[in-house]
Structure 1
């Protein structure tokens, strides 16, 4: 065990003995999300560096504090990428934070989520024990799939020290198509119809900018021949790839004008729905920004609209949570995990106690009592 990891393990061991809460933190770019942040900061950035990278095997292993931008740059040099496009939300995002948050970008509906690319993790549990799960191949799981369990757990189960990821080659063909004067219902109909066809549909974004009906933008990725054929089939206005790339990045990072125009007192709500869900009736609220071919809808609304949003989402089999609070110093209302089943709550509680018996890791990060 190297000195940086040994020091962190000593810190965890002492915290467990004293029952001192620890707040695991890498770059801190996602501190805005979730409930109130509590505990002494445990900085992971000393755990930095690429452990191994085998481009021919499509596998990379990196330490948790490695800057996400550095990993993406390394992959790009070999013509490879993290296809799920993890958002950074600021300078300093880390590989461990990417896995712990489990957030994916515009391509998620087409290529899968972060958890689908996590092959193995090394971690410290609440007893400061160094554990390793999974490996560097897909079929390497028995019992709990702990590597995937860590994705989206927000550090409540343990401190990720190292992660192995599956990567993919950058697709050879790409095109972005824009459809103007397209309202939300028409956009959803198009996306639902295209989803049932063998098209290289990679990402989509519908937004109403306050004028006209709205604009649907889709990105195609895959074999060059498949992309070119899809462009002829779908129509629309084809955009220059170099010009469109910053907009897709802005969509991923939530820096599009639609996000920047959020009114004071309005939170950013995340509605996770079945992709086939229709337009939701949300009286008094501005139209959402729609991603993931209809499965992800961002809504700007005050906390008082929470009941309306949750009921509307639940009616179509989805959920609604606050992603960004109304003010910079506020906290996101409601738990990140929406556990409606008492049995499921008990399972989560048992897993938490198994990994972190003293409850020192990120207490209250995703729900009261967690």
Structure 2
């Protein structure tokens, strides 16, 4: 299906600007648990969809923001390619625009880059009521900002995405997943050591009992690493289940927290159950501990914590100086503050 609703979306935005009406931008709504609730007129992007251009030899795909991720991944798979950042869907209706707006990346993130690293260009309806192109093809940056990459993780607070151009990559020729029995502390030590060596690791997760590794690359390099590291082979589906939060860990009853930490961060003694992803740079925590206590402990080692439950305190508050930068950027792109007001922070 290929449908261009850019004129309709532009009219809706301009009408909202005239009336001073806030807008709640929504695609598949699969990331609704993140951020604060938004009270505004619904802008549903799902009708604005379709792959506009894709030449596998150029490693670039351009599609409308409402295009389902499943449709994009199917087209890439047929050509032997993939989205390098391995974005989680967290629901059947996930869209390309939602992928960029949420900025979430899967297990391959430390080795292949984040969502923002794959964004080459965008088309965006701004808070000035104009449909503009940024990035790869025509317009570069305005006001000193790399606008296209700023969209990653902005949760629709800076404008309405209508189109995205992405860098894609060939799928690895060989993939082998392993399970190595070791403690979490030992796993972090081993990963720190392996990170200095030419091993074809593309995912690393510790579930509380064992370390899971994914090896990807040429047949020879994967086989050599497999022989060196040992362990037991496991199904490659493990990484899809981890990405989509379907492992048994995620079904535990306590609230879910995502901890973003420096790569070399040591093991943390936190209340609750932990699951390590991204080689330890992303840690999932199931805990009933108070939010302020968790955030203080995580901030002490240079990280931050996000609660996977929509509400006032789900996203960690920004330091005052950093908040001022965010507010200045919001004023540049959305001077009337109509796009997803308060989704990330109450003063944004």
d(CA) in 1 for partners of 2:293, 2:347: 26
Give secondary structure in 2 for the equivalent of 1:293.
helix
1:281·1:312 contact (CA, 8 Å) conserved in 2? no
Aligned match of 1:129: 130
Give the drift of 1:248: 1.1
Matching of residue 234 in structure 1 with residue 229 in structure 2: yes
Matching of residue 294 in structure 1 with residue 295 in structure 2: no
Q: 1:1-370 counterparts in 2 under 5 A?
A: 4-135=5-136, 143-180=144-181, 182-208=182-208, 214-239=209-234, 244-261=235-252, 263=253, 266-282=254-270, 285-302=271-288, 304-322=289-307, 324-325=308-309, 331-334=310-313, 336=315, 338-340=317-319, 342-370=320-348
2:304·2:316 contact (CA, 8 Å) conserved in 1? no
Give secondary structure in 2 for the equivalent of 1:120.
strand
Moved more, 73-82 or 190-199: 190-199
Superposed CA RMSD: 1.8
What TM-score does the superposition give when structure 1 sets the normalisation length? 0.89
Change (3 A) 1:3 1:51: closer
| Residue segments in structure 2 that go unaligned for 5+ positions in a row | none
Give the drift of 1:225: 1.4
d(CA) in 1 for partners of 2:268, 2:74: 40
Give the drift of 1:338: 3.9
d(CA) in 1 for partners of 2:237, 2:314: 32
2:54·2:61 contact (CA, 8 Å) conserved in 1? yes
Change (3 A) 1:136 1:172: farther
d(CA) in 2 for partners of 1:287, 1:335: 19
1:12·1:127 contact (CA, 8 Å) conserved in 2? no
d(CA) in 2 for partners of 1:312, 1:3: 48
Give secondary structure in 1 for the equivalent of 2:194.
helix
Give secondary structure in 2 for the equivalent of 1:56.
coil
Moved more, 28-37 or 93-102: 28-37
- Deviations along 1:166-194, one digit per CA (max 9) or x if unpaired, are 000001121101012x2110111111111
2:176·2:236 contact (CA, 8 Å) conserved in 1? no
What TM-score does the superposition give when structure 2 sets the normalisation length? 0.95
1:136·1:165 contact (CA, 8 Å) conserved in 2? no
Give the drift of 1:136: 5.5
Between the two proteins, the alignment pairs up a number of residues equal to 345
Give secondary structure in 2 for the equivalent of 1:38.
coil
Give the drift of 1:37: 2.7
